[in-house]
Amino acid sequence: MERTPFGYLWLGIVMALWMGSGCAKPPLVTPIDPEITPVPAHEWMRRQSGAHQTDAGQVFFGIGQADGLRNVSLLRATADNQARTEMARVLNAYVTSLAEAAGFDRQTEADRQSLSVLARAALQQARVVDHWYDAPSGLFKTLCYLDMGQFEQVLKSERQIDAPLRQRMLSLTGQVHQRQAIQQGP
């Protein structure tokens, strides 16, 4: 069977389309709607994980970062996991400080367990809300975010802590948050 110039033309077009479609890549970081992102990137990029006062009010940040990997998807997943781990550390410290300020006795295992349950329940409400990727350096950063209103809702619904102590803790949430934010600085 002989090849005609027309057959070579079709083969060339098919090969060009096939090769061209393989080079198209989706964006590395999905742009996040500014209506959904509660904190502008320039604000959280300069901060550390912890309690912060922002224009949105009292919030908790868990900031994760990853670099040194060539796979951007793996960088993102690593940074997301680190941000959630940081948020867990921040919430555990905050819940412990809040309980001490409210006069909570952590002597028994049941008491320690109820604080752990509260911190885990609050962590479930925290969300990864923003990403930042610097292609030249390969640095990927992630923001995990929880605002004070969400934490207070979790605390109100926590039934393992008796009602009077829960009310004292609710009345002290802002003061303890402010104290932690001052201790860590901007």
Check which CATH number belongs to the domain holding 115 and give it. 3.10.129
pLDDT for res 36? 47
SS3 content of the chain, % helix, strand, coil (to 5): 55, 15, 30
Angle at Cα 7 formed by Cα 4 and Cα 13, nearest 5°? 145
Q: How many residues does the chain have?
A: 186
Q: Is residue 21 part of a domain?
A: no
Q: Is residue 109 part of a domain?
A: yes
Q: Is residue 8 part of a domain?
A: no
**pTM, to two decimals:** 0.75
Q: Can you give the residue range of the structural domain that contains 163?
A: 40-184
Q: Is residue 79 part of a domain?
A: yes
Q: Is residue 116 part of a domain?
A: yes
Q: Is residue 76 part of a domain?
A: yes
Higher pLDDT, 31 or 96: 96
Task: Name which of 125, 133, 130, 128 is nearest 34 in CA terms.
Answer: 130
- Mean pLDDT score of the chain: 81
Structural domain count of the chain: 1
Q: Tokens for 101?
A: 């300020």
Instruction: Map 4-19 to HEC letters.
Output: CHHHHHHHHHHHHHHH
Q: Is residue 96 part of a domain?
A: yes
What are the pLDDT digits (tens) for 10-30?
Answer: 667 766 665 655 554 444 444
pLDDT above 90 covers a percentage of the chain that reads 38
Q: What SS3 class is residue 138? A: coil
Q: Is residue 115 part of a domain?
A: yes
Cβ(129)–Cβ(60) below 8 Å: no
Banded model confidence at residue 86, pLDDT cuts 50, 70, 90: very high
What are the pLDDT digits (tens) for 104-135?
Answer: 876 678 778 888 999 999 999 999 998 988 88
For the cut 60, the answer to whether the pLDDT of residue 171 exceeds it is yes
